[in-house]
Amino acid sequence: MDLIILILIFGILGYLLGISRLGKKVDRATGQLTQTTGKMADGVERRWKSLFERSQAADYFCAWVAGSGAGLFPAEFKTWLQSLNTTEARAFTTALGEYSNSLGFSLPILVEGGLDQDPILRQVFVEAVVVYSSAYRKAKTARQQSEAKEAKKSAPPEGEIKPAEKSASRRALGSQPEANEAASAAA
């Protein structure tokens, strides 16, 4: 009987708490927590997809720049991006994705039209992409030139004769004790 009375008391207290102001605050907090958790889950899902679909992301980004995103980018950028082979495009898109994430932007959101409602923010992101691509190209060119200089330094100049490898001298062979004993035994 005591157990039934306790259950009834807790049930009534729970009901009164639910209809009070505190209950409403708890409901709002629960709603906010649910929204925040949903946003986090969406972010994790996007990140997961970006990790395992990088090859498709490069193709998708290049196609978007050439297609519906063409009006946002300068002609020089579009021409350069189209001139890249598949491996170079993937490397650039991966580096660009990491760079944009460090700025707090998401390349998939740009491509999927998530910034269409905020044209100023979208234009800032596009300018960041163009500036980054310019720096990326300059760094790549400088690295290639440096590697070419290093290759020239390590290669011998053309027409130069390489020094011959030293071979054992005949005198050195004759001065060895076993060779001397064999020569005196033969004589």
Residue 131: inside a domain: yes
Whole-structure pTM over 0.95, yes or no? no
Residue 77: inside a domain: yes
Q: How many Cβ atoms from other residues are within 10 Å of residue 117's Cβ?
A: 8
> Six-digit token pair at 103?
């700025």
Of 81, 73, 53, 174, nearest in space to 126 by CA:
73
Residue 183: inside a domain: no
Looking at the 3D structure of the chain, how many domains does it have?
A: 1
Mean pLDDT score of the chain, rounded to an integer? 76
List pLDDT tens digits, range 90-114.
888 888 888 888 888 877 777 777 7
Residue 48: inside a domain: no
**Distances in whole angstroms, Cα of residue 48 to Cα of each of 35, 42, 44, 60, 91:** 20, 10, 6, 17, 18
Residue 76: inside a domain: yes
> Six-digit token pair at 6?
């306790």
Q: Give the DSSP per-residue string, 27-94.
A: HHHHHHHHHHHHHHHHHHHHHHHHHH-HHHHHHHHHHHHHTTTGGGS-HHHHHHHHHS-HHHHHHHHH
Task: Tell me what pLDDT residue 9 has.
Answer: 93
Residue 110: inside a domain: yes
Residue 140: inside a domain: yes
First to last CA, the chain: 127
Q: Give me the domain span that covers residue 62.
A: 57-150
List pLDDT tens digits, range 71-94.
888 888 888 888 888 888 888 888
